[in-house]
Amino acid sequence: MATADVTVMGAGAFGLAVAYACAARGARVRVIDTRRVGAGSSGGLVGALAPHVPENWNDKKAFQFESLIMAEEFWAGVEAAGGVSPGYGRTGRLQPIADARALELARAREGAADVLWQGKAAWRVVPAGDFADWAPQSPTGYLIHDTLSARMHPRRACDALAAALRALGGEIVLGAGQAEGQVVWATGYEGLLALSQALGRAVGNGVKGQAMLLKFDARDKPQLYADALHIVPHADGTVAIGSTSEHAFAAPDSTDGQLDDIHARAMAAFPVLEAARVLERWAGVRPRARSRAPMLGPWPGRPGHFIANGGFKIGFGMAPKVGQVMADLLLEGRDAIPDGFRVEASL
């Protein structure tokens, strides 16, 4: 391709979303990844696009809400451009309610969601019987049902973004490549470690997660959340279960007994899955900024270089809005990044 206007280092959720958003506005875009598309945590299995609780509203929750609302149109556009489905579906989420206090709190959040979610999605307390055998076990007999949560298949989403980018004239280079134009660093947890070294202070690290994929067709069912587990039905007739959060680990991509424990807990919480065959076990390391929020904006002291990283557990849910605000900054000089998401917030 001709000289790039924007080079994105890293072909994960954030990097590809930024690249796609820039290419959709007519920029010449090159993506460089030393391994492959979706090589890091973006190549996982779970794909739970779930919101924060609707209370104590702040810039982070508002940004995530806007991104989740954008997601249906965003992923439809990606699929239309490249012809590859990301497996997106806004199918909602169910959570059990443990006791009377939790039930009172869940009902209070119904009204908060009506206001904060602007009538575009709902948070409701419903009888567990409304969902028959797909309902998680709930001591109170009630569930939280939100209609904002969505799912997509992480690997397919990366492939869909890559196909859309190429269809728009973008280039993806695997291995060594020449960075030209403005450079966006979206290089996952290794990138946070490198940035920490460059800035002389810890700005983030990696948290390992393990997950598994089961053969079970619940493609039209809501995702489930209980006992810190995400159970996510995918459009291809599989169900993902995850995940661990390991701050110390010897190998970034190996699975072990912690995943066996995840499986056992999932079977106890959701007996409907007991006979489902395990198709795959997966492990990877997710980037976590020190602020726990995404890290977006100019690289301090390095003109022409930018950071898009730190999407810990919420990378795909945040990707549509991250692509938008980074394209605004790179192509139009318009800075709409929340203060809590700036690189300086993690310094």
What domains are there in the chain, each with its CATH number? 6-90+149-203+290-346 (3.50.50.60)
pLDDT digits (tens, 9 = 90+) for 299-336: 999 999 999 999 888 899 999 999 999 999 999 999 99
Cα–Cα nearest to 161, from 282, 66, 80: 80
Question: DSSP assignment, residue 149?
Answer: -
Rounded to whole angstroms, the Cα distance separating 154 from 135 reads 24
Q: Which residues pair with 239 in a beta bridge?
A: 214, 233
- Cα 289 to chain center, whole Å? 14
pLDDT digits (tens, 9 = 90+) for 184-235: 999 999 999 999 999 999 999 999 999 999 999 999 999 999 989 999 999 9
Indicate the pTM of the whole model.
Answer: 0.95
Mean pLDDT over 264-269 rounds to: 91
